[in-house]
Amino acid sequence: MKFFADTAEIDEIAELAALGMVDGVTTNPSLILKSGRDILEVTREIAGMIDGPVSAEVVATEAEAMLEEGRRLAAIAPNIAVKLPLTWDGLRACKALASEGTMVNVTLCFSANQALLAAKAGATFISPFIGRLDDINIDGMELIADIRTIYDNYGFETQILAASIRSVNHMKEAALIGADVATAPPSVIRRMAAHPLTDKGLAAFLADWEKTGQKIV
């Protein structure tokens, strides 16, 4: 499973990239606001740091305006994936941009039917929002599983990009189900390395090592 960092913070992306823990980046208007930077400037910088896809989101709501914004974003770098909302206008813009050879990430997906439409419109990625479904007591992982089954049934090439990930369990479950990509905040990716038994075992080894009185260097 590929890991995308869900952030517009340059330092966080650089840390993950240095470890080989990031295959792409996703941004959205909220993350751009948090970064405090110009969307074109920060998107260009991120795209220069990462070989994989960098999702940049339009803010228009009508298809023609989405296309105008999408083309402007796509012109930043060849690895830009234009992020479009899963609305009828978004699907129209998706079809047009995909036909032009632009990667498209269709976002705010909350049903298998929406994901099926996005695949037929030529989306490169579909972003089902796990955490937001969990917030309203719907199992977000069931949606990932349903989309996986539908896409496999018909050979759709659209990649499932599990989004709105809140926990390390979300990462594990997405991997078990077969999501192609998971996009998560850097803090969640870092927490995947943590386990209390690892900490306990390391503390015991270090205590025993200290008793030997030895040094390696």
Residue 82: φ, ψ to 5°: -75, 130
Quickly state the pLDDT bin for 148 (edges 50, 70, 90): very high
Torsion 158-70-141-168 (CA) sign: positive
Q: How many CB atoms lie within 10 A of CB 79?
A: 17
- 198 occurs within a structural domain: no
Span 81-126, pLDDT tens digits: 999 999 999 999 999 999 999 999 999 999 999 999 999 999 999 9
State which residues form the domain around 128: 2-192
- 214 occurs within a structural domain: no
Looking at the 3D structure of the chain, how many domains does it have? Answer: 1
Look up the CATH number of the domain holding residue 110: 3.20.20.70
Catalytic sites, residue numbers: 83
- 215 occurs within a structural domain: no
Span 13-59, pLDDT tens digits: 999 999 999 999 999 999 999 999 999 999 999 999 999 999 999 99
Give the residue-averaged pLDDT of 168-187. 98
Is 193:16 a contact under the CB 8 Å cutoff?
no
pLDDT at 209: 96
pLDDT at 75: 98
Residue closest to 75 by CA, chosen among 111, 38, 112, 101: 101
Task: Report the alpha-carbon distance of residue 180 to residue 174 in Å, rounded.
Answer: 9
Residue closest to 89 by CA, chosen among 121, 126, 134: 121
